Structures are given as C-alpha cells and as structure tokens.
Structure 1
Amino acid sequence: MARFFKPQKRKTDTKHKEITINRLDHHGAGIGHLNGKSVFVDGLLPTETAVVQLTEDKKNYARARVIKRLSDSNARIKPHCAIYDQCGGCNLQHLSHQGQVIAKQQVLSELMAKFAVIDQANCIQQPPIISQAWHYRRCARVAVRVENNGQLQFGFRKKQSNDIVDVSTCPVLAQPLNELLPPLRELLQSLKGRRFIGHIELTYADNGCVVLIRHLAPFNADDSALIQAFAVQHNIMLFLAPETDELIHSYGDQPYYEIEGLKLTFSPKDFIQVNGDVNRNMVAQAIEWLDVQPQDRVLDLFCGLGNFSLPMAQEAKAVVGVEGIDEMVLRATDNAQANALHNATFYQANLEQDVTKLVWAQEQFDKILLDPARAGAAGVMEHVVKLAPNKVVYVSCNPATLARDSQVLLQQGYQLERLGMLDMFPHTGHLESMALFVKVQKKQKK
C-alpha cells in the first residue's frame, strides 16, 4: 500500500510571552517580533510592551492577543466610544486622530517605497486629505437578531464574531442616522414579523435619511402599515428588499448626493464612498492631478455610478467610464443625462478579463483614472500601459495592491510624481490613497 506524506498541523504555543511593538501594519495592528518572527497584535501601539498569547502561528508570521499591557505609548488616548472594546467597527480609537493620520501616511510611504521603488527626488508627498474625526460616516449596516425570548438584538457585529453588540448611538455615524437608531429599534421590536428581518442598511444622502430593510418573508398588513407610518413620521426614504436582487422603493424621493455642482442619484444597493467630505476633496484632487483639459479624452476604470467620470466630463472633451456591475452602468448613464453631460459614455466589462478587443478599448485616451476595489486592478494594468496615456491617477482603498499594480507602470516608462493619503475612514486601520503617474518622455537622439 502506498503511503502519502501528511503534514502535521503547526501547534500554536499558547504560553504567555512579552513583546514590544515597533510599528503599525496597514490594518492598524501593532507589529512586534518573537524569535525573529513578525507578530501582529491588535490594540497595541509602537513603543508599547505587553504580555500576549499567540492565537495563530504560521511559518512566516504569527498573531496574538493582549493579556496585559505593561507600558503605554504617549500617543495612547482613552477611546471615545463606550463599546469600543467590543464593537468590530473601529480599531484605532486608542490612538489620537492626528496620530492615526501620521501612522497611515507612514504605512503608505513604506509600502510604496518597498514595492514600487519611489524616486524620492521626483515624488511629491501630498498633504493628507482629512475630515472631521466624528460623525463622518454616511453609510452603515445594522445587524438584527431576535432572541428566543422575543427580544430584539440591534447593533453592529462584535470583533471577529457574528455576535451582535447592542448600539444606541455611534460616534462615527452621521448624526441624523444616530437620531434614527432608537425609534427604528422600537419599530422593529413592535413588528410581528421581526424574526424575518435580515439586516438594516442606513444611508445619509444629501436629501435625507435612507432606510433599507432586508427581510426573508413578506410583512403582514399590520406590519406593513407600521413601517409605512414610520417612514412618513420620520420623513425617510424607505426601501424594502424581500429578495437578494429585488428592491422596492416604498416611500420618499430617490436619494442623491452632490459633487462638483452635479447631482448624482443612487440606489441603496449601490456603492458610494462613506465619507462625503473626503470624497468631494478626493474628486477635486484627482481632476487637479490629471490636469483635465477641454481637448482631453479620459478613461475612468471601475467608474461606479460616475463619481469621478461626471465631474471630469465637465472639463474634458470626452469621458468613457467602464464598470463591471450592469446596474451601476445604467445609473451612471442616467446621471449623465440628468446632468446634461452628453460627452460621457459608459460600458459594462469585467476588468479582470482580457478587454483588448472591446469597443472602448480600441479608442485613444490622453488620461486614465482607476478606482478599483481592494483586490486592485492587476487584470487591466497591462492594457492601461498599452493605451499609453500621458497621465494615470490610481485611487486605492488598499495600499498593498496599489504598490503591487504600480510596478507595472513604473516598469513601462511611467514615473510616480505625487502620492497622497486620504483619511476616508477615521478610527479604523483602513486608508484611501491616490497616486499620480506621468509618462516619461524619451529624449530624442541628436
């Protein structure tokens, strides 16, 4: 009988160990070292020493939890939120907002220097774009669960858990949404069909609050009447989602937000940036960096509902937006028409596949903007280079994939000229970043 090698699982050493933190990673966790191996510990800051216990032990790294903090950094502050130690929403409230901004800038610079080989002499480190530290978040998902005794759990997920931590107010949530939480909880508790509620999605649009209720079974007549009366009383835009792909606009106007003098309507199912102030400044900076001119043709990849495309269309000769989700393409097209922008055209395409033969990919563009999801834009970078634009602005919510994708541009004759951090998500380890790449003109031979 043949024998096959079966590797044994690495046994985690759970003995308590002392560690000192040197720096933060790009998720906000502290990094220290034990026996030459990097150890990631949530909740610790650089210079702090603590007793920890390993929770995960891999070949090249480990993770640990804090048993006891032995020393505190001068940058440590008391968290503003009463449930910070339980809620999974924020992970950096123990660091001052200014300290968070500095740490995020450092993480971005280190990652780009390590993987993208920045030319420090020619790359301008842009001052960070920041907003108010509290009540900035205009989108949130509220988890709902009914206990066996009929009582409603209403709040956010606990750290690394599916359990729910009860929430009556949230210091990062937009204040109009905060004011809606108590009466919304009371409404849901009163419903006969509350057991069938999946979750609640809240959005603060420029024209008011939006509530989306996902439910697994139809509401009876009494529950429907209560929900409708709640929408009227609180003047909210109400949407119901009885199925995954179904959305019923039950009450109120269509939500929208304004940017660069434009009004962009959206559905509660659409992705919009959670921080309205940072988003407005981000779009303005992208247009400035690209230096969009009246003769320019601009390509916007991962364009969504036109957040960058439509403001750029006000400055350019033509803008082409490409997005993978059909509904977003339709929304962007509708927004262009509603804002009388006839020089913006939108296409649906899977940007992880070969796009070479698609109609829009045959056109010529002077400038390109990319704003991919966390996975980055690896599938389309080679084609971006092939189109040979004069300038490329890459907007990223993951500095690791930005650094990775940047290598393609740098290896093909582009130079990183500007790099900036955008504090889209205060009190979390997440950061938004923007990089400007300019095609280096080859010197002509004499």
Structure 2
Amino acid sequence: MARFFKPTKRIVSDTKHKEVTVTRLDHLGAGIAHLDRKPVFIPGLLPDERALVQLTDNKKQYARAKVIKRLTDSPERITPQCPVYDQCGGCNLQHLSHSAQVSAKRQSLGELMAKFALGADKETATAFEQEAPVTGETWQYRRSARFSLRVESGKGLCFGFRQEQSKAIVDIDHCPVLAASLNALLPPLRELLAQLQGRRNLGHVELVEADNGPVVLIRHLKPFSDPDMTRIQQFADSHHVMLFLAPEPDEVIQLTGDMPSYTVNDLTLQFSPKDFIQVNRTVNARMIAQALDWLDIQPQDRVLDLFCGLGNFSLPLAQKAQQVVGVEGVDEMVQRASANAALNQLTNTAFYQGNLEQGIESFSWARDGFDKVLLDPARAGAAGVMTEVAALSPSRILYVSCNPSTLARDSQVLLQQGYQLQRLGMLDMFPHTGHLESMALFIRT
C-alpha cells in the first residue's frame, strides 16, 4: 500500500540559550563555535567573541544558531557604515575591519586547499605560502547591482535589496558599496518609477556603471503606456543614461544611448546589461594583470580560455599570445566575444560555443593542443572538464575561482594527474561580503 506524505522541516525543540565562544570564521563569513564537539555556525559573530545563542537548526554533523546576546566584542569589530546593515542581505561582514576580512578569507582559502586539495590538516595550511592579496577600493567599488521593486498598500513603491533568506524588500536610497554615479541615480530613478501608471507591473531594475556612462535596465511584466514611455524617455535624456527595457527575462531592448562598454588593457569590451561582468573594476584589471604574469604568456603560445564569457581574459591574452581560443556555453556570449575581438582588431582569436560537460577532445578546436589553459567557471566549478584539461597537457593551468570549495575539489584532479600547485592567492573582489574570489596556478611536473 502506497503512503503519501509531505516531509516537514525539522524544528529545533531546544530553545535554551547556550553560551559559546567563536574560534574562527567559515568561508562565507559566519562564526564557528563548538557545542559537544559539534561545529555551530553563527552569522554575525567574530573570532574570540562570546555570546548567548539559540539553535535554529540542529543536524547530526553540525548546527546553526542565532545570537541572543553578545557577551564580549572582538577588537576587530567595527561599526557598519550602512544604516540598514542589520536588515539588508547584501553585505555580511561590515562589522569586521577590512584588514581582518582579508586575513580571514586568506586563512579560509588556505585551509580549504590544504584539507581537500593538498591532503594536509588545517594546522598545516600556512605551510603553503600564499601570494599577496589583490585588493582595490573598499567602498563604492560595486559597478553593477539589481534592485527589487514592489508596490505595497500604505507604503507606495518599495525600492531596495532583499532581506537575507526573505522576499521582504529593505527600502534604501543609498548603498555604501555602490559606485557613486549609481548612488546619485537612486533618488530620481525612484521618483520616476513611483510616478509610472504601470508601477505595479515592475519586476526589478538593474544599474551598471559602464566606462561610457550609467546604464539602467527596467524589467516590466506588461507593456508601458504611452505616457509612461514619455516619462521614461525624458528621464533617460535628462540623466544621460543608456536605457534598456526587459519585457521578458531573456529579451532586452535598448531605447537610448550607445552600447555599454568598459576598458581594460587599452581594450574596449562592449556588453549588454544582462551579460555577466566583474562588479569590481579595479580588482578586475589587477586580476587580469596577475593572470598574464602567472601564466607567463610567450609570443608562440597557443592559449585556451574556458568559460570565456565576453572576452574579459581572452582579449588581454591575445595581446601577448600567438593564438587564443575561447569557449563558452552561451552562444550569445560567444558572439559578443567575437565582436569584441573584431572591435579591437585582434585577428588571433577564435570563439566557440560548447557544452563543456560533454568533454573537450570531441571538439575540433582542441585537436592542435594548447601551451597554457585558463578557466574561470561559475560557482559550481568545472568538475566535468578537469580530467580533460589535464589530458591536454599544457605546461601551465590557471584556475580563477569564485568558490573556494569547488576550487579545492577540482584541484585534486590536476594534482592526481601530475600537476603541482605553484601559486595561490586571494582576490578581494567583494569587500564586506563573505564571497571569496581566488586564483591558483598549476605547473606540469
């Protein structure tokens, strides 16, 4: 006889307050304490801080808790600059000094690589010396952001960021990590959207600071009326923005301005507001410079750039190498990268669309081999392609990662195939958040 049931979320019955002392941060910025030898993850606490906490999730291997009362403060604790820091889900480390943020992220990266990639205990994590971190501005560094919108009875238009693990919107008119030019747009943009007849049909707004001006993308669920279109056009003209509308999730229509672009290594890269670009302009430029240095690109090198996007690494590589092949899963990005190469008069590049999970050797572009390989995958990493990357037998492999856990996992394949981890470093792409960008160089031995 079949039984039909609906699983229920485990409810923690232990409501007693427990005193804990945090020993370190995890790789997402939460404090780690121990109760009965079980790790307890507590957002908002710092190493050496004592607090009364209440468990919110109690599993066999670990638990989660919330702070009831902080009993001691770390000397590294500072006052957050953001007035809604305790509500907004955007940043989670503004209560920690920036220098301590960098130190914690470096420690976390070293421990993950030592434990999962190098087969060592976390106590030996410092045995492999990391390179100096790549850093930039700590405030007003973010050149792109998405704002949620909703019309609520009695409140009017809510305009801001989501609360952590919630659909609620934290209303804001300024963000300390957002670029100054975008912050200046927030009040007039809010005023525009609140006046629209179709404001209840708004989805979200995306802002980008391109090198050739600000970009505004408005996601709307129904067509705008003629009066609304007039207001939108007047806003774009008066604030000199490149304005885009998104009537569908995968459709973008440009109303005003030029094609957005940014510059790196004297190269101009054009992009659509729905394309992925690195949010930190300064760290992105320094990251590219470090990648070129670590790969030691020579004029005769044939280089493979996997997960190449619109050519952020490919085009600077092509300035030094004999040939660069870029591969990306999204065909529109492949077309963008090809157009950017043509725009910059680079004739030694070739870009291909391909599902890298299906293997590399079956593709024609892989038959001539490569001297160097760079890969910059999404958070899920590149598990499906690592064995074949190693089989290409390049002299150097550079892995740029936005998730240290998948970097550590994928590194095991290269080490097992005879590669050696030679250089490792943290990139401070997202100050005041738990996000950890890193770069690892592997040399064939």
CA-to-partner distance for each residue in 1:335-379, whole Å, 9 max, x for gaps? 000101011100011122223211112221000001000000001
What is the rounded CA distance, in whole Å, between the counterparts of 1:389 and 1:286 in structure 2? 15
Q: Please state whether the residue corresponding to 1:409 is helix, strand or coil.
A: helix
Indicate the residue corresponding to 2:361 in structure 1: 356
Indicate the residue corresponding to 2:71 in structure 1: 70
CA-to-partner distance for each residue in 1:141-197, whole Å, 9 max, x for gaps? 001000134710001111221100111000000000000000000000010000011
The Cα of 1:246 is off from its aligned counterpart by 1.2
What is the rounded CA distance, in whole Å, between the counterparts of 2:244 and 2:344 in structure 1? 25
Of 98-107 and 9-18, more deviation after overlay is shown by 9-18
2:392 aligned with 1:387: yes
What is the rounded CA distance, in whole Å, between the counterparts of 1:359 and 1:93 in structure 2? 48
Indicate the residue corresponding to 1:309 in structure 2: 314
TM-score of the superposed pair, with normalisation by structure 1: 0.96
Check 1:225–1:409 CA distance in 2 against 1; reply closer, same or farther (3 A cut): same
Indicate the residue corresponding to 2:280 in structure 1: 275
What runs of 5+ residues in structure 1 fail to find an aligned partner? 441-446
Check 1:44–1:387 CA distance in 2 against 1; reply closer, same or farther (3 A cut): same
Q: Tell me the amino acid that sits aligned with residue 105 of structure 2.
A: K
CA-to-partner distance for each residue in 1:275-303, whole Å, 9 max, x for gaps? 00000000010010000010000000000
Q: Is the 8 A contact 1:122 1:417 kept in 2?
A: no
Q: Please state whether the residue corresponding to 2:358 is helix, strand or coil.
A: coil
Indicate the residue corresponding to 1:39 in structure 2: 40
What is the rounded CA distance, in whole Å, between the counterparts of 1:4 and 1:176 in structure 2? 55
Indicate the residue corresponding to 1:181 in structure 2: 186
The Cα of 1:10 is off from its aligned counterpart by 5.1
Q: Tell me the amino acid that sits aligned with residue 275 of structure 1.
A: N
Q: Is the 8 A contact 1:398 1:431 kept in 2?
A: yes
Q: Tell me the amino acid that sits aligned with residue 77 of structure 2.
A: R
CA-to-partner distance for each residue in 1:394-434, whole Å, 9 max, x for gaps? 00000000000000001111110100000000000001100
Q: What does 1:16-415 correspond to in 2, within 5 Å?
A: 16-117=17-118, 124-149=129-154, 151-415=156-420
Q: Tell me the amino acid that sits aligned with residue 148 of structure 1.
A: S
What is the rounded CA distance, in whole Å, between the counterparts of 2:419 and 2:148 in structure 1? 45
Q: Is the 8 A contact 1:237 1:253 kept in 2?
A: yes
Q: Is the 8 A contact 1:22 1:30 kept in 2?
A: yes
Q: Please state whether the residue corresponding to 2:132 is helix, strand or coil.
A: strand
Q: Tell me the amino acid that sits aligned with residue 61 of structure 2.
A: N
Check 1:23–1:123 CA distance in 2 against 1; reply closer, same or farther (3 A cut): closer
Q: Across the two proteins, how many residue pairs are aligned to each other?
A: 440
The Cα of 1:118 is off from its aligned counterpart by 7.3
Check 1:128–1:2 CA distance in 2 against 1; reply closer, same or farther (3 A cut): closer
Q: Please state whether the residue corresponding to 1:336 is helix, strand or coil.
A: helix
Check 1:339–1:68 CA distance in 2 against 1; reply closer, same or farther (3 A cut): same
Root mean square deviation, CA, Å = 1.9
Q: Is the 8 A contact 2:11 2:57 kept in 1?
A: no
Q: Please state whether the residue corresponding to 1:337 is helix, strand or coil.
A: helix
Q: Is the 8 A contact 1:51 1:68 kept in 2?
A: yes
The Cα of 1:19 is off from its aligned counterpart by 1.0
Check 1:39–1:225 CA distance in 2 against 1; reply closer, same or farther (3 A cut): same
What runs of 5+ residues in structure 2 fail to find an aligned partner? none
The Cα of 1:36 is off from its aligned counterpart by 1.5
The Cα of 1:2 is off from its aligned counterpart by 9.2
TM-score of the superposed pair, with normalisation by structure 2: 0.96
What is the rounded CA distance, in whole Å, between the counterparts of 1:35 and 1:278 in structure 2? 42
Check 1:4–1:126 CA distance in 2 against 1; reply closer, same or farther (3 A cut): same
Q: Is the 8 A contact 1:123 1:417 kept in 2?
A: no
Q: Is the 8 A contact 1:156 1:166 kept in 2?
A: yes
What is the rounded CA distance, in whole Å, between the counterparts of 1:68 and 1:133 in structure 2? 29
The Cα of 1:124 is off from its aligned counterpart by 4.6
Q: Is the 8 A contact 2:110 2:126 kept in 1?
A: no
Q: Please state whether the residue corresponding to 1:183 is helix, strand or coil.
A: helix
Q: Is the 8 A contact 1:123 1:416 kept in 2?
A: no
What is the rounded CA distance, in whole Å, between the counterparts of 2:10 and 2:181 in structure 1? 50
Q: Is the 8 A contact 2:425 2:438 kept in 1?
A: yes
Q: Please state whether the residue corresponding to 1:247 is helix, strand or coil.
A: strand
2:418 aligned with 1:417: no
Q: Is the 8 A contact 2:382 2:410 kept in 1?
A: yes
Q: Is the 8 A contact 1:133 1:172 kept in 2?
A: yes
What is the rounded CA distance, in whole Å, between the counterparts of 1:4 and 1:82 in structure 2? 48
Q: Please state whether the residue corresponding to 1:407 is helix, strand or coil.
A: helix
Q: Please state whether the residue corresponding to 2:131 is helix, strand or coil.
A: strand
Q: Percent identity?
A: 66
What is the rounded CA distance, in whole Å, between the counterparts of 2:42 and 2:127 in structure 1? 35
Q: Which runs of 4+ in 1 moved over 4 A?
A: 1-11, 118-124
Check 1:4–1:340 CA distance in 2 against 1; reply closer, same or farther (3 A cut): closer
CA-to-partner distance for each residue in 1:248-268, whole Å, 9 max, x for gaps? 010011100001110000000
Q: Please state whether the residue corresponding to 1:156 is helix, strand or coil.
A: strand
What is the rounded CA distance, in whole Å, between the counterparts of 1:121 and 1:165 in structure 2? 40
Check 1:392–1:124 CA distance in 2 against 1; reply closer, same or farther (3 A cut): farther
